């Protein structure tokens, strides 16, 4: 096979694979909205329940229900608190039933359930309550740059692994690009995004158990080791393959798992306001 064609195919596969991982990580994370549907009197109602909110106001929960005979209610309470469940009726606005969940401090979580009612029958939308986490707003340019760099690291990591498997000559160069993009996206911009979101730069080891921070740290250690191994002996390319596999495993772990969480039990008075 022609070397240029081979290189193109390997880059193409790496790009498609990285795009697939990006979609997978987004859809499996705890902040991705819960999407489903329910049938009431032969009418199918599709809905989304949000699980993250970065606004400065109350989080709005909106369910499209054209049938005006259908009403709704929402019950909620703060996570890690001494609250009791609070139940409020939903308000109708045209073809939607709407309620709001009171704004909380950064990293504060609220657990909630939505129920639709028609003719005395109740239809619970989510048997397992949804959890919404409040966070600060991130400047768009920082967020975009963070995402581009972190997935560039995944792209070059995958391409480096393929370079090792297909005995290419650019393993050393691709390894360096992988490490640089990983450092910039994960260890430099990552903490900045964390600071904007949850008012803390680092909540991974040794200060906390944030999986996202710890993932970046583990991947960094393996890629540094791969660079050191090749610096001492350019023939030791296996470490780059191992580092690529580790980074893949890291990306397969859902984003924002065990992230920052506000502890309401430390407050003198734990009461959610509506």
Q: 81-120: b or e for each residue (b if 16 or more CB lie within 10 Å)?
A: bebeebeeebeeeeebbebbbbebebbbbbbbbbbbbbee
Residue 12 has a pLDDT of: 95
- Which tens digits make up the pLDDT trace of 196-232? 888 887 776 666 666 677 788 889 999 999 999 999 9
Residues 16, 144 within the same domain: yes
Number of domains in the chain: 2
Residues 124, 185 within the same domain: no
Residue 246 lies in a domain: yes
Instruction: Determine phi and psi for 256, rounding to 5 degrees.
Output: 70, 20
Residue 210 has a pLDDT of: 67
Residue 272 lies in a domain: no
Instruction: Determine phi and psi for 92, rounding to 5 degrees.
Output: -90, 135
- Alpha carbon distances (Å) from 186 to 15, 91, 166, 216: 19, 42, 28, 6
Residue 181 has a pLDDT of: 96
Residue 6 has a pLDDT of: 87
Residue 126 has a pLDDT of: 85
- 148: domain range? 3-29+138-252
Alpha helices in 166-253 (DSSP H): 171-182, 189-198, 211-232, 238-252
Residues 21, 154 within the same domain: yes
135 touches 197 (CB < 8 A): yes
Residue 215 has a pLDDT of: 83
CA atoms within 13 A on the CB side of 37: 6
Whole-number Å distance between alpha carbons of 210 and 146: 18
Residue 76 lies in a domain: yes
Which regions in the chain score pLDDT beneath 70? 1, 204-211, 255-259, 268-274
Residues 229, 146 within the same domain: yes
């Amino acid at each position: 096979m022609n070397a240029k064609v081979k290189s193109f195919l390997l880059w193409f596969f790496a790009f498609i694979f990285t795009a697939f991982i990006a979609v997978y990580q987004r859809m499996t994370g705890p902040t991705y909205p819960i999407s489903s549907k329910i049938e009431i009197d032969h009418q199918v109602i599709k809905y989304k329940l949000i699980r993250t909110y970065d606004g400065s106001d109350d989080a709005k929960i909106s369910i499209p229900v054209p049938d005006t005979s259908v009403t709704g209610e929402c019950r909620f309470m703060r996570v890690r608190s001494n609250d009791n469940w609070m139940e409020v009726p939903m308000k109708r606005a045209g073809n939607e039933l709407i309620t709001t969940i009171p704004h909380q401090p950064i990293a504060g979580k609220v657990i909630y359930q939505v129920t639709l009612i028609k003719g005395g029958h109740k239809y619970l939308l989510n048997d397992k309550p949804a959890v919404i986490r409040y966070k600060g707003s991130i400047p768009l340019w920082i967020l975009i740059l963070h995402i581009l760099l972190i997935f560039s690291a995944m792209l070059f990591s995958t391409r480096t692994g393929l370079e090792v498997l297909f005995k290419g000559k650019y393993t050393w160069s691709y390894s360096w690009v992988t490490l640089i993009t990983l450092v910039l996206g994960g260890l430099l911009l990552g903490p900045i995004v964390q600071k904007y979101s949850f008012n803390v730069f680092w909540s991974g080891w040794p200060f906390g158990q944030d999986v996202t921070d710890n993932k970046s740290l583990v991947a960094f250690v393996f890629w540094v080791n791969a660079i050191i191994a090749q610096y001492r002996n350019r023939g030791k390319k296996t470490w780059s393959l191992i580092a690529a596999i580790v980074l893949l495993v890291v990306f397969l772990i859902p984003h924002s798992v065990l992230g920052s969480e506000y502890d309401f039990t430390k407050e003198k008075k734990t009461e959610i306001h509506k």
